[in-house]
Amino acid sequence: MKYLTALKKWWRELDWLERSLLIWIALIAVGRWINLTSPQAVVFDEVYFPKMASQYLAGESFFDIHPPLGKLLIALGIQSFGDSYLGWRVVPAIFGTILPVLAYRLTRVFSGSRLMGLILALFLLTDGLFVVYARLGLMDEIMITFGLLALIFSGR
């Protein structure tokens, strides 16, 4: 009950732009998460990254030119949901859902404008590239999310 009261207080403290952003994110996140296993085929670099994540889980050694964090995070999805399309894609989908919130925050940190933050967040929510990459077992959404976090913390 204490958490529900805190949540209601937090919601009342938001202005209409922040509330509308959260509602947009919730609605569009549902669209990103529905049928996450579609297409039932390997797309783009899914041929590499989920395979490498599975190799990390198996303890196999292999040559990898990229840092391991993104693949280790994808490995969490594989460990939780199995070596399947859902396991490959769940972690990038989580990061793709968080990304517009961070973009809003970044814009607020550097420009102070709530409206510009909302515009950028809505762009990320509706842009085809970000929608597609958030639904596939790729590392782009993970990398961009950590990049935005670094910028946000550097601006404080």
3-state secondary structure 15-51: CHHHHHHHHHHHHHHHHHHCCCCCCCCCCHHHHCHHH
Side chain identity at residue 35, one-letter code: N
Query: What pLDDT was estimated at residue 121?
Result: 87
d(CA 77, CA 91): 6
Query: What pLDDT was estimated at residue 115?
Result: 87
Is 81 in contact with 94 (CB distance < 8 Å)? no
Is 141 in contact with 134 (CB distance < 8 Å)? yes
Low-confidence stretches of the chain (pLDDT < 70) are 1, 156
Closest listed residue to residue 140, CA positions, set 104, 89, 65, 76: 89
Query: What pLDDT was estimated at residue 87?
Result: 93
pLDDT digits (tens, 9 = 90+) for 35-59: 888 888 898 888 889 999 999 999 9
Query: What pLDDT was estimated at residue 62?
Result: 84
